[in-house]
């Protein structure tokens, strides 16, 4: 089986002889087709051994975890079915974890910061998974980020899993499967999950909706410290970190932090306890990074004391389900040929004002339901023919 980890595909910074266990070995990205680590050719999905994959993941096999992520990120229907099965099997095995979102503009020092923070976490005995999403990177021919020197010290650690993912241009730059991937990592025993994303406006909102603590990484600007950082985004943060507080830049970083603190003081609708905290650090020298982790832990402790930690996780699960529901419907609209052509026809009627938008939307939904029902009927017929009517839902059970 080709695991997509040939030497030529390893990032430039990979140590020679990094070998199979090298955490950031490249796993081919699969936005549309999924012929990568999981199977070597189209249609080979039936060879994927979901039970075997489950077992390997739960025993800490990082290659298996990378394969599972590729399966989950695949958009082919065959893989979707297998991914659903894998997720169902793994969900009960999820370990408790802390989920942290880290966002910031390119160049703010996110990867340097995660490298440094991650080493601290490893020393504390934590098992860390880093999921990096970069909306600006090309996705073809393997991993994004392969050409950048990122988190090289962290990548050598045994208890660390780093996974770059293409965003697929969706959800404001956050990969559409990131939430499922978090679940896979938790089932693999990672107790600290970092979701890193480039700040592009909407991505912060999406990342915030899947983590316990959201850290905004910034740097001192040239005077207007709030430049480029919308107030709304600032309000999302639990922790704002002014990075690069070293050398000649230290004073500027500290005054930027003061200015941010002043701005955040006037945030309404939040109790003192919930207002974003501001810290400075130098990811490069490591100064202040351990304190950032203490601030993250304090933020989570406060949420636990308020009873918010579990409440927010529960509501995140529900909104995740609702997001998936909308995604499923949107995917259906795009992928079903009949629906696509019906929509195209009806769109021109709506454009000309011959059919109301409301009526047209209803017609598309009716068509969707009819199509689904027919497919279920066909599937049940096939199943009956194969297994006999007694097994599972038969044709007669359908409406
Ligand atoms: P990212 O694009 O946000 O992931 O940023 P990087 O981590 O790639 O860092 C961008 C540049 O800033 C690199 O040249 C880093 O070496 C540098 N850098 C990152 N953190 C610090 C820091 O704390 N201090 C200084 N002086 N440079 C830093």
Residue 344 counted as domain residue: yes
Strand partners, 216: 103, 240
Averaged over successive runs of 10 residues, the pLDDT of the chain (399 residues) comes to 40 46 41 33 60 94 92 84 92 89 89 95 96 60 45 89 70 68 94 87 81 93 55 84 95 92 76 84 97 96 93 92 87 85 93 95 92 78 62 41
The confidence score (pLDDT) of residue 201 equals 66
The secondary structure of 247-263 as a DSSP string is: GGGHHHHHHHHHHHHHH
Residue 118 CA to residue 146 CA, distance in Å, equals: 20
Residue 330 counted as domain residue: yes
Residue 290 counted as domain residue: no
For ligand 1, which residues put their CB under 6 angstroms from it? 104, 106-112, 243-244, 246, 282-284
The confidence score (pLDDT) of residue 99 equals 97
The confidence score (pLDDT) of residue 107 equals 86
Residue 182 counted as domain residue: no
Nearest CA to ligand 1 atom 17: 109
Residue 298 counted as domain residue: no
Question: 86 and 183 in contact (C-beta within 8 Å)?
Answer: no
Residue 369 counted as domain residue: yes
Distance 156 CA to ligand 1 centre (A): 19
How many domains does the chain contain in total?
A: 1
For residue 198, which atom of ligand 1 is closest to its CA? Answer: 3
Residue positions counted in the chain: 399
Longest dimension (CA), the chain: 77
Residue 200 CA to residue 157 CA, distance in Å, equals: 30
DSSP 172: G
Whole-structure pTM value: 0.78
Work out the number of other CB atoms within 10 angstroms of the CB of residue 310: 10
Residue 310 CA to residue 303 CA, distance in Å, equals: 9
**Parallel/antiparallel/unpaired status of strands 213-219 and 192-198:** unpaired
DSSP H/E element including 303: helix 289-306
Q: Model confidence over 184-235: pLDDT tens digits? A: 999 999 999 999 988 766 777 888 899 999 999 999 874 444 555 566 778 8
The confidence score (pLDDT) of residue 388 equals 61
- Domain span at residue 386 reads 311-397
Nearest CA to ligand 1 atom 19: 109
Distance 232 CA to ligand 1 centre (A): 25
Residue 343 counted as domain residue: yes
Residue 220 counted as domain residue: no
Q: Model confidence over 73-97: pLDDT tens digits? A: 887 878 888 999 999 999 888 888 9
């Amino acid at each position: 089986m080709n695991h997509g980890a040939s030497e030529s595909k390893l990032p430039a910074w990979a140590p020679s002889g990094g070998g199979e266990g090298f955490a950031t070995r490249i796993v081919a990205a699969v936005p549309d087709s999924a012929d990568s680590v999981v199977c070597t050719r189209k249609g080979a999905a039936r060879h994927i051994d979901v039970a075997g994959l489950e077992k390997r993941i739960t025993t800490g096999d990082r290659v298996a975890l990378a394969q599972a992520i590729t399966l989950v990120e695949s958009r082919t229907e065959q893989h979707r079915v297998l991914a659903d099965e894998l997720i169902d099997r793994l969900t009960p095995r999820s370990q408790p974890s802390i989920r942290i979102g880290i966002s910031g503009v390119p160049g703010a020092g996110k990867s340097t910061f995660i490298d440094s923070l991650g080493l601290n976490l490893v020393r504390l005995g934590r098992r860390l998974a880093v999921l990096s999403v970069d909306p600006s990177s090309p996705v073809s021919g393997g991993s994004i980020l392969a050409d950048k020197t990122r988190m090289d010290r962290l990548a050598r650690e045994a208890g660390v899993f780093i996974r770059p993912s293409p965003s697929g241009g969706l959800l404001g730059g956050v990969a559409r499967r990131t939430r499922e991937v978090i679940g896979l990592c938790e089932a693999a025993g990672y107790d600290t999950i970092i979701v890193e994303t480039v700040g592009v406006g909407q991505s912060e909102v999406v990342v915030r909706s899947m983590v316990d603590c959201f850290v905004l990484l910034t740097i001192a600007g040239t005077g207007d410290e709030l430049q480029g950082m919308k107030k709304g985004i600032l309000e999302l943060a639990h922790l704002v970190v002014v990075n690069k507080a070293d050398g000649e830049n230290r004073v500027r970083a500290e005054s930027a932090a003061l200015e941010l603190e002043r701005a955040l003081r006037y945030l309404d609708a939040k109790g003192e306890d919930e207002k974003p905290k501001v810290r400075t650090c130098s990811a490069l020298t490591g100064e202040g990074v351990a304190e950032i982790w203490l601030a993250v832990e304090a933020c989570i402790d406060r949420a636990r004391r308020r009873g918010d930690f579990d409440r927010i996780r529960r509501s995140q699960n529900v909104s995740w389900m609702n997001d998936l529901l909308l995604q499923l419907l949107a995917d259906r609209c795009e992928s079903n040929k009949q629906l696509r052509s019906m929509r195209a026809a009806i769109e021109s009627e709506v454009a000309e004002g011959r059919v109301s938008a409301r009526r047209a939307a209803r017609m598309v939904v009716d068509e969707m339901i009819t199509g689904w029902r027919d497919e279920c009927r066909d599937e049940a017929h096939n199943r009956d023919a194969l297994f006999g009517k007694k097994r599972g839902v038969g044709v007669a059970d359908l409406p």
